[in-house]
Amino acid sequence: MTAVSIMLLAWMIEVGFGWPDWVFKRIRHPVVWIGALISVSDQRLNRVTLGHRSRYVAGACASLFILAGVTSLAIFIARLLPDTWWGWILEAAIASSLLASRSLYEHVRAVARPLQRKELDTARRAVSQIVGRTPDQMDAPEISRAGLESLAENMSDGVVAPIFWGAIFGLPGLAAYKTINTLDSMIGHRRETHAAFGGFAARLDDVANFVPARLTACLLALASARGDVFKTMFRDAGQHRSPNAGWPEAAMAGALQIRLSGPRMYGEDVTQDPWLNAACPDPAPDDMNRGLTLYVRALGLLAGLLFAFIIGERFAST
């Protein structure tokens, strides 16, 4: 079975079962294991007594060591499994743990439902699970913006990118990408404590997400069936502080005819980020459901592309 077929099967398993709670309680989750390695390296190597350059080098070495270790383990597992139907299913089951399409949908829906019922405190608690900004004083439009931005960005990071790299390089490619993404989420931010130590991880994540972010944006644009979404993407994506996240977020904004990004609060700091699709209004609670529908349609297109590629491979091999 080809890598593309394994990824499609893995995705079907993830959509159908997710990562069950009983499994999590017994063995946790692969990302938790990777996160533990990153946390240990951060605690031991990210020393404030070192200069910027030394901390950057230490972070780069730690990132490469963890990446090499996880990828090597994935290569070993992939080679250990037999080339039989049960070996394919087992590999797909392992790969499914590194995809997040179902959990992303559920987390965003957990924000949308109380928001529609005007239960702002519940919605704030739910949105705090998927964004890093301070939710305490968020009003309904701000919660909607945060939820839709997370949906767009994590569609790229949690679904499209892992499937993309897994389809090219199999389980090792998927594991390598997930390691890079976890490194970025844990140490790749711009806070003073990690600006140097996590600088390499952040740049590595930018490279790994360059193509998937733009692919995600195109899927959202095509799923919307609005021709002007591409115009919004190309006009506004570059204004985002992230070189990649702006693409799916701009596509989401254009598809729903709302504005996203803009000022937001992290702790006591307020960022003055520019708006994406600035001429449109803030999203309303109902727009979160529209965003989830768009998300499902876009992923349907991705599944169709994978299936078409598999069919093409079979015709090419005959």
* For residue 266, pLDDT beyond 70: no
Q: How confident is the model at residue 267 (pLDDT cuts 50, 70, 90)?
A: low
The mean pLDDT of the chain is 91
The answer to whether the CB of 127 falls within 8 A of the CB of 138 is yes
The DSSP 8-state label assigned to residue 238 in this structure reads G
Amino acid at 253: A
Average pLDDT, integer, range 70-98: 94
**151-184 pLDDT per residue, tens:** 999 999 999 999 999 999 999 999 999 999 999 9
The DSSP 8-state label assigned to residue 78 in this structure reads H
Q: Whole-angstrom Cα distance, residue 86 to residue 69?
A: 26
- In three-state secondary structure terms, 82 is coil
- The per-residue DSSP string of 58-76 comes to HHHHHHHHHHHHHHHHHHH
The C-alpha angle with vertex 169 and arms to 167 and 173, in degrees rounded to 5, equals 100
At 229, list the tokens.
């979404």
Q: How many residues are listed for the chain in this entry?
A: 318
pLDDT over 70 for what percent of the chain?
Answer: 98
What's residue 269's pLDDT? 62
**195-224 pLDDT per residue, tens:** 899 999 999 999 999 999 999 999 999 999
* For residue 189, pLDDT beyond 90: no
* For residue 9, pLDDT beyond 80: yes
pTM: 0.93
The answer to whether the CB of 246 falls within 8 A of the CB of 199 is no
Q: By mean pLDDT, which of 22-31, 165-174, 238-247, 299-308 is the weakest? A: 22-31
Q: Whole-angstrom Cα distance, residue 241 to residue 261?
A: 10
Between the alpha carbon of residue 102 and those of residues 11, 124, 197, 226, 236, the distances in Å are 9, 21, 32, 26, 29
